[in-house]
C-alpha cells in the first residue's frame, strides 16, 4: 500500500505560499503521491514538472463529472488514473430528473476516462447516509463506478467504517483516511491518524485484505502544525500496515 495526501487538506498553505510549497511539504513528510482538488492555476506541463521535482505521483483528482472533459489535459499529462466526484447533493439523489442528469454526466465522464485507462468513482460525505439511505452503494451500483470511502464522514454518519468498506468490496478503489474526534467530530479538529475514534487498525486491515492500493490522507482541521501532522500520521499509518 502507498500513501497520498488530498491536497485540499493544505488549502491554507497553498493560498499563502503556493503549489510548490504544498508539494514540497508532502514530499518532505514521506508520502508517495497526491490527490488533486484543483490545479492551482498551473498548466499541465508546469504541474507535471513540479511533481517530478518532488518525486510525487499524481494518483487521483476530485472532479465533478461535468468538469472531467475540461480537465483531461491535466489527467493525461499527470498520468492520473483515478477521478472521484467529491460530492453530490441530496437533491441530486432524491429528485428523479436530477438523478438522471447525474447518471448521464457520470456516464460521459466514465467513458472519457475509460478510453485512457482511468477510473471514475464517488467520494462520500455524511449526508448520503441520512434517513436510513445508502446513496454511496446506490450510485456505485447504478452508475457502475468505484468508491473512495471517507472513513471520517462514515463515522460522523454513525456508521462503522470497516463494515462500510466490506459492503463496498469489489468496488472500493481508495480509502480516504481521515481521523475523527470522539466528541462532536464534525466540528472540531481531526486527531492525528490512529489517535482518534475511527477504528484505523480495522480500516487498514480491511484495506489490505481488499488489495486497496492507496490510502489517501485528508484533513479538514489540523490539531497541530501541518508538517507535524503529516509526518506523525504517516508514521502511524505505516505501523498499521505492518
* Three-state secondary structure call for residue 18: coil
What's the pLDDT score for residue 55?
Answer: 98
For each of the domains in the chain, give its residue range(s) and CATH number, in order of start: 2-240 (3.20.20.150)
C-alpha cell at 119: 477510473
For β-strands 214-217 and 172-177, DSSP reports them as parallel
End-to-end alpha carbon distance in the chain:
10
- Return d(Cα 194, Cα 242) in angstroms, integer: 14
CA distances, 124 to each of 121, 149, 155, 165 (Å): 10, 6, 11, 12
CA distances, 28 to each of 25, 31, 54, 127 (Å): 5, 8, 9, 35
Other residues' Cβ atoms within 10 Å of the Cβ of residue 101: 14
* Three-state secondary structure call for residue 139: helix
What's the pLDDT score for residue 242?
Answer: 81
What's the pLDDT score for residue 28?
Answer: 98
What's the pLDDT score for residue 75?
Answer: 98
What's the pLDDT score for residue 129?
Answer: 97
- State percent of the chain over pLDDT 90: 99
- Alpha helices by DSSP H, listed for the chain, are 11-17, 19-29, 44-54, 72-78, 90-94, 96-114, 135-143, 151-156, 161-167, 200-210, 226-240
What's the pLDDT score for residue 10?
Answer: 98
DSSP structure string for 26-48? HHHHT--EEEESS-TT--HHHHH
- Return d(Cα 75, Cα 225) in angstroms, integer: 31
Q: Which residues contact 153 (CB under 8 A, 6 or more apart)?
A: 124, 125, 126, 178
Write phi, then psi, for 135 (nearest 5 degrees). Answer: -75, -15
- Return d(Cα 186, Cα 125) in angstroms, integer: 11
Other residues' Cβ atoms within 10 Å of the Cβ of residue 160: 15
- Return d(Cα 29, Cα 42) in angstroms, integer: 23
Write phi, then psi, for 6 (nearest 5 degrees). Answer: -75, 120
Q: Which residues of the chain have pLDDT under 50?
A: none
Amino acid at each position: 500500500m502507498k500513501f497520498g495526501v488530498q491536497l485540499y487538506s493544505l488549502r491554507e498553505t497553498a493560498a499563502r505560499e503556493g503549489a510548490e510549497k504544498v508539494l514540497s511539504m508532502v514530499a518532505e513528510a514521506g508520502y508517495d503521491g497526491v490527490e488533486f482538488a484543483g490545479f492551482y492555476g498551473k498548466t499541465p506541463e508546469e504541474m507535471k514538472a513540479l511533481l517530478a521535482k518532488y518525486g510525487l505521483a499524481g494518483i487521483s483528482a476530485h472532479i465533478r463529472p461535468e468538469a472531467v472533459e475540461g480537465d483531461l489535459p491535466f489527467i493525461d499529462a499527470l498520468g492520473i488514473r483515478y477521478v472521484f466526484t467529491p460530492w453530490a447533493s441530496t437533491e441530486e439523489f432524491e429528485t428523479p430528473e436530477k438523478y438522471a442528469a447525474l447518471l448521464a454526466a457520470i456516464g460521459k465522464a466514465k467513458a472519457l476516462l475509460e478510453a485512457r485507462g482511468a477510473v471514475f468513482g464517488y467520494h462520500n460525505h455524511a449526508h448520503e447516509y441520512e434517513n436510513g439511505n445508502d446513496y454511496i452503494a446506490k450510485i456505485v451500483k447504478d452508475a457502475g463506478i468505484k468508491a473512495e470511502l471517507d472513513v471520517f464522514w462514515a463515522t460522523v454518519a454513525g456508521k462503522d467504517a470497516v463494515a462500510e468498506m466490506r459492503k463496498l468490496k469489489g468496488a472500493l478503489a481508495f480509502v480516504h483516511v481521515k481521523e475523527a474526534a470522539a466528541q462532536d467530530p464534525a466540528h472540531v479538529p481531526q486527531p492525528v491518524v490512529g489517535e482518534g475514534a475511527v477504528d484505523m487498525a480495522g480500516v487498514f486491515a480491511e484495506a489490505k485484505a481488499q488489495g486497496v492500493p492507496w490510502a489517501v490522507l485528508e484533513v479538514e482541521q489540523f490539531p497541530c502544525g501541518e508538517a507535524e501532522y503529516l509526518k506523525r500520521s504517516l508514521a502511524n499509518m505505516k505501523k498499521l500496515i505492518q
